[in-house]
């Protein structure tokens, strides 16, 4: 199973299940959770037809993503490939990204890397599937 963790200041999502933790109350546990994690690597990419077919089939199952198909497929591909790369390197490695809409404003880390806040909805769809 691919382990992943997405966070805001008070939320952790792990292994497809919501695990709410308050940083203020549970700082030690939260710090331990982050020790084997890294930020989303947006430079992970592949043009292999098999990867494109895989991304297309996953995208077709995600019902709520209907606008900006090309951009959303790109975000989905980056996310899935990075999850795979993390999983193949370390089964317990977690991938992090912010679920805070303010993190995607102009001149932010994510905006500079061309990662839109739509990735939050994509992850939510993956978790609910």
Summarize pLDDT for 15-65 with one digit per residue, the tens: 333 333 333 334 445 667 778 888 999 888 899 999 999 999 999 888 767
Over residues 57-103, the pLDDT tens digits come to 999 888 767 778 888 899 999 999 999 999 999 888 888 888 888 88
In the sheet with 17-20, reading across from the earlier edge strand, the strands are: 5-7, 11-14, 17-20
Alpha-carbon distance of 36 to 38, in angstroms, equals: 7
Alpha-carbon distance of 54 to 113, in angstroms, equals: 24
The model's pTM: 0.73
């Amino acid at each position: 199973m691919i382990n992943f963790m997405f966070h805001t200041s008070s939320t952790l999502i792990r292994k497809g299940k919501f695990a709410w933790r308050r940083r203020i109350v549970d700082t030690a546990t939260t710090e331990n959770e982050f020790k084997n994690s890294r930020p989303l690597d947006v430079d992970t990419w592949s043009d292999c037809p098999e990867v494109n077919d895989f991304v297309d089939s996953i995208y077709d199952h995600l019902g709520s993503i209907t606008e900006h198909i090309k951009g959303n497929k790109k975000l989905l591909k980056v996310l899935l490939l990075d999850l795979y790369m993390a999983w193949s390197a370390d089964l317990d490695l977690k991938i992090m990204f912010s679920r805070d809409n303010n993190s995607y404003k102009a001149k932010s880390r994510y905006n500079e890397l061309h990662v839109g806040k739509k990735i939050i909805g994509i992850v939510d769809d993956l978790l609910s599937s």
